[in-house]
Chain A
Amino acid sequence: MSHFFAMGGYAAYVWPAYAVFFIVLLADFVSPLLRRRRNLRELRARLARQTARQHRSATPAVNS
């Protein structure tokens, strides 16, 4: 097992390389998820503000 981790003495190069690979792709995968979450949250807030505005105004069926 330790032989595997030692990578024939090149561990200091091989493992950081693999780490970069996984970390960068993980960041690439997560970023649109966060963006989507943020977008939906903002959209919901915007819709809530719109409906609140519609309820407040006396005239019905105001198209925002």
Chain B
Amino acid sequence: MSKWIPLWLHKLGSPPIFYRFAGTLRPWFLGLALVAGAVALYGGLVLAPADYQQGDAYRIIFIHVPSAWMGLFIYGVMAVASFVALVWRIKLAEAVAMESAPIGAAFTFITLVTGSLWGKPMWGTWWTWDARLTSELVLLFLYLGVIGLYHAFEDRRQGARAAAFLAIIGIINVPIVHFSVNWWNTLHQGSTVRILGPSKISASMLWPLLTMMVATKLYYVASLFGRVRADLLELESGKDWVRRIATENSVPGEQA
């Protein structure tokens, strides 16, 4: 076994240990996500001033941009987990990859819908086939393809490996989505938030945006933990540790 993997990480790959670990941490992540989200929404909806050009419609940015970012980020996580799952065949990596897909699809869907609702008053159209919107739609199709392929197999582990392969092939779309506003003339505006250097957005609007980005990340972890736990129960349903959990909880649906 590779010596550079610390023992705690190696242990975490074991389903019953991860189940307990995720179960303990999940409420914390959820709580922090809700608090951060509430703070971000207050800052964005109440404190931040109306935009000079777009009036109050710009406030959709506080959910649109974090959702778009999460759509791409989750795909990256899914692709990395898929790679680990294919190369080392670790059950937990398969579970993380497959359970990230619906969450990523949800955020991508939110991005498309909120973008459409923002585009109508600003650009005068619900949709346009420019590079950014089209590649984002393609991203949604990729997510749906991964989910569909995973569920098309009788053997879940085989399905996970096939879907993982598809996820890795589709990673090419992520840089296309991100750089589409730079590479082509698009209706969609260019990037305003920069990691290095000053951003082109005022501070009172920036901090709620960044806070919401943090909140959605925390939510992703909480949701992922919940989904992976449910998945592990299904995957390992014949094992003793699952049997113990089933018989312990006489009241169904209790969060361990």
Interface residues on A, range: 20 to 34
**B173 cross-chain contacts in A, Cβ below 8 A:** none
A21, A27, A31, A35 interface centre (most CB from chain B within 10 Å): A21
**B229 cross-chain contacts in A, Cβ below 8 A:** 32, 36
Q: Which residues 1-58 of A sit at the B interface, judged by CB distance below 8 A?
A: 4, 7-10, 13-14, 16-18, 20-21, 24-25, 27-29, 31-33, 35-37, 39-41, 43-44, 47
**A37 cross-chain contacts in B, Cβ below 8 A:** 252-253
Q: Say which residue of B117, B223, B233 sits within 8 Å of A28 (CB atoms).
A: B223
Q: How far is the CA of A41 from the CA of B234 in the complex (A)?
A: 12
Q: How far is the CA of A43 from the CA of B247 in the complex (A)?
A: 9
Q: How far is the CA of A27 from the CA of B56 in the complex (A)?
A: 28
Given known pairs A4-B45, A17-B64, A25-B219, the reply for A9 and B55 (CB within 8 Å) is yes
Q: How far is the CA of A39 from the CA of B233 in the complex (A)?
A: 7
Q: Looking at chain B's contact residues, is the secondary structure mostly helix, strand, loop, or mixed?
A: helix
Q: Looking at chain A's contact residues, is the secondary structure mostly helix, strand, loop, or mixed?
A: helix
Q: Say which residue of B118, B219, B245 sits within 8 Å of A40 (CB atoms).
A: B245
Interface residues on B, range: 35 or more
Q: Say which residue of A10, A24, A36 sits within 8 Å of B110 (CB atoms).
A: A24
A10 touches B55 (CB 8 A): yes
**B185 cross-chain contacts in A, Cβ below 8 A:** none
B223 touches A16 (CB 8 A): no
Q: Say which residue of B60, B226, B234, B249 sits within 8 Å of A13 (CB atoms).
A: B60
A7 touches B247 (CB 8 A): no
Q: How far is the CA of A10 from the CA of B229 in the complex (A)?
A: 41
Given known pairs A16-B117, A28-B102, the reply for A35 and B55 (CB within 8 Å) is no
The residues of A with any CB-CB pair to B shorter than 8 Å are 4, 7-10, 13-14, 16-18, 20-21, 24-25, 27-29, 31-33, 35-37, 39-41, 43-44, 47
